[in-house]
Amino acid sequence: MYKILDELAKRREKARLGGGQERIDAQHKRGKLTARERIDLLLDADSFEEYDMFVEHDCNEFGMGDKKIPGDGVVTGWGTVNGRPIYIFAKDFTVFGGSLSKAHSKKINKVQDMALRNGVPIIGILDAGGARIQEGVDALGGYAEVFQRNVLASGVIPQITIIMGPCAGGDVYSPALTDFIFMVRGTSYMFVTGPDVVKTVTNEEVTAEILGGAKVHTTKSSVADGAYDNDVEALTDLRRLIDFLPLSNKAGVPVRKSHDAPTRMEMSLDTLVPQNPNLPYDIKEAIYKVADEGEFFEIQKDFAGNIVVGFGRMEGRTVGFVANQPMVLAGVLDSDSSRKAARFIRFCDCFDIPIITFVDVPGFLPGTAQEYGGLIKHGAKLLFAYAEATVPKITIITRKAYGGAYDVMASKHLRGDVNYAWPTAEIAVMGAKGAVEIIFRQSAGNEKEIEKQTKKYEARFLNPFVAAERGYIDDVIQPHNTRARITRALTILRGKQLENPWKKHDNIPL
């Protein structure tokens, strides 16, 4: 018996070494951790239970029969984050560059199936060299098996990918099918085809960083939801995100004890909105001062800054925040901000996370660039997301809510449950001067008349009371009471039941 146990220990030790000490050292020199080190950092201490440690590929082409390493380039299993279970797979770059084989994909498929069956989130840590070329179509088929499971799990369990090395081809399509993607600056890259292929096909000379680095995907393409300076920082923050997420679409939002009083007043919110309607202010201040303990996990903070999205808590329960940001483009809606917010809202709706919306929007961004870029369809995505959502929706209009953008931003007309306005709210078709110049065209050039009519328009329409008179606003509230009013609204909405008409699936304007 002792001999068998000794043999088991040796096999485990060999498997844990992956591609060997030399390759592990090379990984460290690049500023990267190994797959197992990353798992240890992400999960609670001693909680990881590994599956398929001894799996090897069965390819004999191109001399591969003599190159077999236990685990075959991916570490799979499950563990806990702050006591809550997750399934995980981490590609091991020290073994065949983390490339995907048939055996490799079957290991991933196994934990994907278990995560879906058991209603538990799954995290993928990618550091890979794409398909294992020696296996040909088997590797391609392996990717498709992963993709299919990504799609089936979408909206059922949270799926998160963290890119921690160079990823191309199938290793970027699978992440694109997951809910959130995070990257590490300087060491992680994502592209469908790498710099060498780009040069061959298009004659463009481009570096991996410029083609698919973290900066590109967090500021331009919006493929990634955030970026970090190193592996440790990324994995530590990922633990924070996991704490906000439900285990599945049937589990309900996680609840943790909060020491922040539900009725806490924030007097500083009374002076957040400047008296001059053209001056900006930071809407994140409202979010931080309303959320439990001022904690807010922002998603895509480096992309489309004119809208802010992310997770917080109210009375210990996860909520999603969406807010126009007057500090960037005056908070106007454009194609990028519409897509960003729509995707976040749909995630929240999938997992029964209530949505709190702060509105200060002067309208949609005009111009040929926006129109040619499909603003109509992109703006419709945001409209569709809010209208489709059946979770509790609470809206607070802080200042401007003009034109169609008023409708789109979780208005009462899109089944908003509780809609509040601060006394500084201006709900109208457009700004006073523009409206008057259209209504009183005949007075063009008569500055005194225009000024007179502008003041009349401001007095009549640039306030929240016309909307309140019609029931489109449930109450005009004092800004310092915002947290208390939201927590009370969330409490009464906890038992909300609303279903959309039966359908196979909707046809969102993609």
Catalytic positions, please? 169-170, 404-405
Element (H, E) at 482: helix 482-492
Indicate the DSSP class of residue 470. Answer: T
Indicate the DSSP class of residue 333. Answer: B
Measured between alpha carbons, how far is 335 from 117 in angstroms, rounded to an integer? 37
* Backbone phi and psi for residue 16, each to the nearest 5 degrees, phi listed first: -70, -25
**The pairing of beta strand 84-91 with beta strand 74-81:** antiparallel
Q: Between helices 35-42 and 231-244, what is the axis angle to 10°?
A: 40
Element (H, E) at 379: helix 375-388
Strand partners, 168: 191
> Could you write out the three-class secondary structure of 215-226?
HHHHHCCCCCCE
Judge whether 129 and 166 are in contact, CB under 8 Å. Answer: yes
Measured between alpha carbons, how far is 11 from 32 in angstroms, rounded to an integer? 25
Q: 10 Å Cβ neighbour count for 228?
A: 20
Indicate the DSSP class of residue 129. Answer: -
